[in-house]
Amino acid sequence: MRFVSWVGSLLILFYSIYPSFASAEGTKKIAVLEVYSSGSEGSLVRKMADRVRHDLARETSLVVLSREETARGLGQLVKEQGDSDQELSQIIRKSTDAYYRMELDLAKSLLKKKIREIESGELKAIEIHDLVPAYILMGTIHLAFQETTEAIRAFREVVRLSPETVLNERDHSPRVRATFERARQEVSDGKFSVGGLKVNADQKKTEVFLDGNFRGVAPLRLEQLVSGRHYLMLKREGYEPTVTPVEIPSGGILEHSFSLQEEKLDQQPTDAGILVSGSESQEEIVRKGVIAGQWLMVQQVALLQVSEESGSLSITLVNLSKPGSFVQKRGTFSNHDEAVEEGSRLVLAHFSDSTYVVQNKNSFQPVVTPEKTVKGGKPFWKKPVFWIVGGLLLAGTGTGLGLALGGGVGGGGDGTSISVELPAPVLEAK
């Protein structure tokens, strides 16, 4: 696999449209959100976002929200994505890279610090699904330091959070798998007792997730849970997700009641959004797009990505609704201005084919890149004249052969016959 340094990306999200959200004229809203981790990336990312905002407002009938409106309107998403370097998935990736580079101290310190924060209650909704991989990696790193007791403790967390987890032979060594099974056996032998959890919420149809797994709708009673720390998340459309650690008592029932907070939106929900991100792999950006889509009910996703390699910039537009399909790919650019201009053109061309956009506000036409002219023109077999002349020659030859073999054309009833002789076609060698 060829790796590049990803400088910036535009994730185009087409949201579900509800009649109550649309204006009388049927216009749609679109938001552009910027996220980057360093000042050097910020210059290109912000310039790209501003150009896209400007061109979408000028060339389409979309209502383009300002940077400030976007930040307020997508408050939770902005908050979650704005600190991307500290997300658990990012820490897992960095720690894994350090582990395979044999920088074990770095791998351990990165992950241990993050797990300590999570266990103290600093857990985001976006991170809850990464808990099990984090503890598996933590146990593996402890084994690399010959810290078997600590490794078993981490693997116990895995068993408590996800009892059905099995480590495969391809990704884990025999020693890691054996230690993990030892931890599982300790849990199943009764060294950990069980308890229950009862969850109440003040909103109907509130979904309840325990350790990242959907368990039902509140009010909900769960039993036979391994005692100890678990992570409870409540979600309800139109309300902020609630995440909290819970301590399941041994032999008892823990009851929790929640009052959900409405989402803080200063304007109507947007119909579309573009997420601009920097310094992340394409896989990570796609992952965040999927998460954003789950929260914001995305129907279609497209990714406009700006990458930098060997000092040159290139732009790619990928339709994520069709995995692996590249809608368009343009050449390389020597400076930011060229890249920004072409990136905006790609976005406009993509939106021109979308049913979510009212076209021709200012007679905008989709961008079509002219094909390069091949010297010498088209090959002779691709020219229409070749096929016309060839068809006439073949028709003439076929007619002549048919008449010759059939004895000419039949005449009247007196037994006489009339023959017609056609001249043979002349083929000149040139």
Q: pLDDT, tens digit, for every residue of 33-54?
A: 555 544 455 667 677 778 888 8
pTM for this one?
0.44
Whether the per-residue pLDDT at 65 is higher than 80: the answer is no
The DSSP line for 129-170 is GGHHHHHHHHHHHHHHTT-HHHHHHHHHHHHHH-TT----TT
Q: What pLDDT does residue 419 have?
A: 35
Whether residue 411 is predicted with pLDDT greater than 50 in this model: the reply is no
- Say what the pLDDT of residue 111 is: 92
Mean pLDDT taken over the chain = 67
Checking if the pLDDT of 23 tops 70, the result is no
Q: Residues with Cβ < 8 Å from 330, sequence gap 6 or more?
A: 314, 315, 316, 342, 346, 369
Q: Which pLDDT does position 387 carry in this prediction?
A: 62
CB 312 within 8 A of CB 333: yes
Instruction: Tell me what pLDDT residue 25 has.
Output: 43
What pLDDT is recorded for position 295? 46
Of the listed ranges 125-134, 141-150, 253-262, 295-304, the least confidently predicted one is: 295-304
Strand-by-strand arrangement of the 5-15 sheet: 63-64, 29-35, 272-277, 5-15, 298-309, 312-319, 325-333
- Does the pLDDT at position 144 exceed 90? yes
Is a pLDDT exceeding 80 seen at residue 203?
A: yes
Average pLDDT over residues 126-145: 89
